[in-house]
Every structure is written in C-alpha cells, then in structure tokens.
Structure 1
C-alpha cells in the first residue's frame, strides 16, 4: 500500500525536535520503505513483535536492530570502515497512525545517543 510518511526525530539528550522528512512510502503492515528525495538514501523500517530494525542505504550504510528484552546492535559502514555500537530499546508503539521508537546507542556502557523517532503514517487517497 502507498502511504505518506513524516519522520520526526526527538533528540532526548539535547531536547531538540525536528522533522527529518516527508515523503511517499510503501507499507505492508510490518515494513515501511521510502527514499530521501529523488537521489537520497533508501530506508527500510521493520516493526515486528519482538524486534525492530531500521536500515539506511546511502554513501554511509547504517543498520540498527532493537530487541524487546535484550540489547541489540548498530552497524555503521562507511569509507572509513565499520563501527559497531550496542543498542537498547526504551519504548516502542505501533498503531495505524504512527510508529514510535525510543532507543539508546551505547559506547562502553555510556549513552551516546538517546532519541525518539516517530513515523506518522497517512494513507494516500486515490483520485
């Protein structure tokens, strides 16, 4: 199904909120796929029962995996090599109108990123 998605990022360490993008997407209930503009990176978000993952493929390839009851992993692959970080899911919500994920990235047991992402989902009306 084609939908419109608005991605909102809330940096909880710095208390800053911003809209990252608004675009068309493909949605099948558990997976969301979209691009950043015409020549930007491609994104895939999977929201399962006990695992959430999001992946961005561009000049830098990022993959984040979050689990309900255990820590996950973030992999950033760039021209400088691969960087691995531990991830921790804080809270997640999934409904017809939005998906919301609050998570942390950890380095040596220190929180280096704590953010909430919200994908607002709107069906595309057929004309």
Structure 2
C-alpha cells in the first residue's frame, strides 16, 4: 500500500479521487491532508507519498521531470468544468472573453498543452 497526500474534504480533486478509488475498489492509505495543490506537489517531490492532482497543475513539473504520472488502469480521470456568473449582472468584455474561451477553447487548449503527458491508450 502507498501513502497518499490528498486535498481537504470538499475539494473537487478529493471528490474525484474518492470516486475513482471507490469505483476501482481500492482503499488508499491517506497520510497527509493538505489545502493546496502546490503544497501537495512539493510533498510528492520530497518523497512523502503519492498525489492525485489535475494534469494542468503539474505540467511544469512534468516537463522538467520533477514529478511523473503513474500508468494506472482506469486513469486518467476526466472531469467537467463549469463556468458560473451572476445572471443579473452584465459581464465585462474581459469576463465575456474569458467565458467564451473556457466554453469554446479550453478543452482543446488543455489537450494541446498537456496531451503529451497522457498515458497512451
């Protein structure tokens, strides 16, 4: 069994991890609970355990070979993102441009930027 360094309860990454382990009937040993992806990355690089993080948060570390992804059956876990805003408020041009990018371009941008790190099927 491996020690896991995990996000705090309520974090989206934590929920995705718990669902993944539930679906695969694995009971991980959770060693450390932290509130930041950056702190989890540093703990993993220090050899304190394994982490479960979104690919876009570890791109730089992967490129510089400071961290690596394990080839795990059933992974990667793919999640949906949501963009929310107050409906009664008009978005600024910058906010509207960001909303458009997230809804129309973000998936292909992430695939182009980080797809090389995905395990090959």
So what's the TM-score if we normalise by structure 1? 0.27
Q: Which has the larger radius of gyration?
A: 2
Higher relative contact order (CA 8 A, sep 6+): 2
So what's the TM-score if we normalise by structure 2? 0.28
Higher percent of residues as strand: 1
